[in-house]
Structure 1
């Protein structure tokens, strides 16, 4: 299958079956989303959603973070990954938002990446989710699934390479949703260690399935036989 046909099939499938695709992080405004995404680095959305209600209750704005100290903030996020660094990032983020952006979350990737703890991936998430900008955040799910499907070259070595290839081929109006399509498919179906190919509804345009069809089917048949 040609790459253009894979992209067409990818967009048609998810536009039909997942027309509304959103982040699973819980938030009420751009500031809360920014904090949640910073905390979610190398951590699960489920864990972050357990932590943020109390955090947002007591630190609802950038001004509240800007006036907090380490010992005050750390207990709220001690259960997430790398809590020491993330506490420092949030404190610095609050101060910079107040000092340079009047307490508001900036709307460009260039401005966002100036903030402590905010890299290109986080900035792309914020701009695409809040303002529907055609930016593609590449996390581990997007990196893995886009390669398996055949949307990007297998020799793409960095998230930026994957981002550029996806942006090149996905129409602008779909990019902000395509990010979530790839993430959710990777989170629940196209798992890293053992993808659920027998349950997958897009194997008809998946390069990974094309190359491994026989092994996948043999394993599935063997598994089903073992259950009987």
Structure 2
């Protein structure tokens, strides 16, 4: 397969496997999503979801969070890791949202990336999941799978994002990035697949089975559509 053919196959297969794509981080609005995504840096979504109920019970709007001492925020979010940096960022961005954006999360990449603790990936997640703006946030799962499936040379996440945006239709970006994450977590993990073991890897890179009869539909067939 060519790179474009592999991309088309991945797109079709993931749409079949994951017709529903719930957002992994529990949230109620753009602000709580922004905070949850910030907390998810170097932390699992599952752990973030155990921490945010207590945090949002304390303060679930920029106005409320801006009044909470950093130490109190840090105490609650400690299980997420990097709590000193994250707690300060949450407090500071909340103050900025109140003072500069009327207490609302701005719906622009530039304004989001200007907030403390918010990089391009976090901004992309918020733009995609809170505002429905086409974006392709690249996390470790997507970066790993894009390289494994030879959709990118993958020297860095920026290059991976550019390559994936060229390969897939713009209207598929928001859903597809979640589908790749789900597949990476459930089937094609860093240690659980060697690039041939899982369903998609077997379909994309089938071995040459000379003289071997393989049942129709088996992922090891060379002619799997």
With normalisation by structure 2, the TM-score equals: 0.87
Q: Is the 8 A contact 2:15 2:179 kept in 1?
A: no
Q: How many Å separate the matches in 2 of 1:112 and 1:210?
A: 46
Q: 2:63 maps to which residue?
A: 63
Q: 1:84 maps to which residue?
A: 84
The CA RMSD over aligned residues, in Å, is 1.8
Q: 1:140 maps to which residue?
A: 140
Q: 1:215 maps to which residue?
A: none
Deviation at 1:197, TM superposition (A): 6.7
Q: Can you list the C-alpha shifts for 1:114-170, whole angstroms capped at 9, x where unaligned?
A: 1111000000000111122221111111100111112212xx311110000001111
- Is 1:30 paired with 2:19? no
- Is 1:50 paired with 2:50? yes
Matches within 5 A, 1:113-192: 113-153=113-153, 156-192=154-190
Q: Which runs of 5+ in 2 are unaligned?
A: 209-225
SS in 1 for 2:172: helix
Q: How many Å separate the matches in 2 of 1:152 and 1:38?
A: 26
Q: Which runs of 5+ in 1 are unaligned?
A: 212-228
Q: Is the 8 A contact 1:36 1:48 kept in 2?
A: yes
User: How many residue pairs get matched?
Assistant: 208
With normalisation by structure 1, the TM-score equals: 0.86
Query: Post-superposition, which runs of at least 4 consecutive aligned residues in structure 1 deviate over 4 A?
Result: 196-199
Q: Can you list the C-alpha shifts for 1:151-191, whole angstroms capped at 9, x where unaligned?
A: 212xx311110000001111011000111111111112111
- Alpha carbons of 1:210 and 1:101: their partners in 2 closer, same or farther (altered >3 Å)? farther
- Alpha carbons of 1:161 and 1:196: their partners in 2 closer, same or farther (altered >3 Å)? closer
